[in-house]
């Protein structure tokens, strides 16, 4: 049995990855891929997949006309249109995963490694942000055990240029960033409240996160370096064992032996989150974690498909067997 799916914002970076993933899913049929910018163009012009044949991008209005009760929808659009689309689609009887930040405060939060039970019966699920996915997944086992000072979690993270979405501003182009690296949205990044809320839920106490983000001269991938202060004396090996214990059955979390082994190359093109940890081993000492994800897969489209699988009663990893898993 197949589920009919409509994708809005299908011409953006995350939308294209969604189309590619859904095309490989054994229980999904794409009935409409909406992109007002690319309407009329064949899907292979952006996806590069010959299997899409003569299928073409359509305008939002045409996709809405095709959306019927019992179907599934993905919103890979900015927050403002996502609000209106989600309300309309849910009212029609569709189930929805929203990749924007429009519903992350008010809807079940689909961080699949931690809160998968929340999304199973939800009509609308908010897909986490890419930085939040890497940072919260890495910190959660230790925040849950109250091993870190919750008021001093310092994160320096860098993203490939696709993390900013398709932009008219040349500042965000790969050509402009070549041989350069720059911080952006210092002390005002939109993922900070999301990260603090998710970690606060995990540890059942307020946390404060100082996140400084950077743009890398590379197309995709996120690498986060997290520094925390230890409240208990724990060695690197003990902390690594905790990560492995908590994520032993997770198909999309890989624990490295050391933080130095975590890299973009290890995760780009996969749906994996790679994590490594090192510790000074004493109370008040530093603990450093590194975490990496592909911002367009595990950080966006991949996790959205995971959420769809959970909502439809499928195994979480269904439809990912064609992706590589780097060691």
Mean pLDDT by 10 residues, the chain (327 residues): 95 96 95 96 89 83 96 97 97 97 92 96 97 98 98 96 62 65 89 96 96 93 98 98 98 98 97 98 98 98 98 96 70
Angle between the N-to-C axes of helices 236-246 and 130-144, in degrees from 0 to 180, rounded to the nearest 10: 110
> CA–CA separation, 268 vs 223, rounded Å?
11
Q: What is the pLDDT of residue 327?
A: 44
CA dihedral 250, 251, 257, 263 (to 10 degrees): -120
Residue in the block written with tokens 């490694």: 113
Based on its alpha-carbon atoms, the radius of gyration of the chain, rounded to whole angstroms, reads: 19
Select which of 130, 210, 273, 287 is catalytic.
130
* Structural domains present in the chain: 3-103 (3.40.50.720), 130-295 (3.30.360.10)
pLDDT of residue 54: 65
The SS3 of residue 175 is: helix
Q: For residue 210, indicate whether it is catalytic.
A: no
Q: What is the pTM of this model?
A: 0.94
The per-residue pLDDT for 166 is 54
């Amino acid at each position: 049995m197949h589920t009919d799916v409509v994708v809005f914002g299908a011409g953006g970076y995350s939308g294209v990855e969604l189309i590619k993933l859904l095309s490989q899913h054994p229980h999904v049929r794409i009935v409409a891929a909406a992109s007002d910018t690319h309407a009329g163009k064949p899907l292979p012009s952006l996806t590069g997949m010959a299997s899409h044949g003569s299928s073409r991008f359509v305008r939002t209005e045409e996709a809405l006309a095709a959306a019927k009760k019992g179907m599934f929808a993905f919103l890979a659009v900015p927050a403002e249109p996502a609000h209106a689309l989600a309300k309309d689609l849910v009212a029609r009887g569709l189930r929805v995963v929203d990749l924007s930040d429009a519903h992350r405060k008010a809807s079940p939060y689909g961080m699949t490694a931690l809160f998968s039970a929340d999304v199973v019966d939800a009509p609308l699920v908010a897909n986490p942000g890419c930085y939040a996915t890497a940072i919260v997944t890495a910190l959660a086992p230790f925040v849950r055990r109250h091993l870190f000072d919750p008021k001093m979690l310092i994160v320096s993270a860098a993203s490939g240029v696709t993390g900013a979405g398709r932009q008219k501003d040349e500042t965000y182009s790969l050509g402009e960033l070549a041989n350069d690296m720059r911080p952006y949205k210092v002390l005002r990044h939109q993922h900070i409240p999301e990260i603090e809320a998710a970690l606060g839920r995990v540890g059942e106490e307020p946390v404060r996160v100082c996140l400084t983000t950077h743009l890398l001269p590379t197309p995709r991938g996120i690498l986060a370096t997290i520094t925390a202060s230890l409240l208990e004396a724990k060695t690197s090996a003990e902390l690594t064992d905790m990560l492995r214990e908590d994520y032993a059955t997770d198909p999309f979390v890989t624990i490295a032996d050391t933080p130095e082994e975590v890299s973009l190359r290890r995760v780009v093109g996969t749906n994996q989150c790679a994590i490594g940890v090192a510790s000074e081993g004493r109370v008040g000492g530093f603990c450093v974690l590194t975490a990496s994800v592909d911002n367009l897969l595990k950080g966006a489209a991949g996790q959205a498909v995971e959420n769809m699988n959970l909502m439809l009663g499928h195994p979480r990893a269904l439809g990912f067997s064609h992706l590589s898993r780097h060691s």
